[in-house]
Copies of this chain bind each other. A is one copy, B any other.
């Protein structure tokens, strides 16, 4: 598969090695594009190889983050942090309070925010972290 090959090369360029734990973590992240907690990732990884240690999962994630392959985000103060593949595009998160679904939303909204801040306030936005909690369309109609 071309994706795993790409990972191996990216790692080798930095003098890193493609190992079992890293491969498994990478697979899990790619398979479910969703936001995963470390606990969830570990659980998935263990289905392929129960001998992989949690520390290694943390270390793999940290390495991937350093390579800008994944992104750490938190969808709420009470929640632990979650991990997802790093999307190159601007996007934000819609969290439905009812069904718990987390939608990635790509679109011009983030660009609009960036421009608004640049023009209006002279603030050069680099990272825009937008998490919106509310009720999604499906739950709004399904209820009441």
Spell out A's residues near B (CB within 8 Å): 72-74, 77, 81, 94, 96-97, 105, 107, 109, 112-113, 116-117, 120-137, 140
Contacts and interface: CB of A to CB of B under 8 A. Distances in A.
Given A72-B77, A130-B129, A130-B130, A136 B123 contact: yes
A78 to B, nearest CB: 8
Contact of A123 (B94, B122, B123, B129): B94
Contact of A97 (B105, B112, B126, B140): B126
What copy number does this chain have within its complex? 2
B135 A123 contact: yes
A108 to B, nearest CB: 9
28 contacts: A73-B77, A77-B81, A94-B123, A107-B120, A109-B113, A109-B116, A113-B130, A113-B132, A117-B132, A117-B134, A122-B137, A122-B140, A123-B132, A123-B134, A123-B135, A123-B136, A123-B137, A124-B134, A124-B136, A124-B140, A125-B132, A126-B134, A126-B135, A127-B132, A127-B133, A128-B130, A129-B129, A129-B133
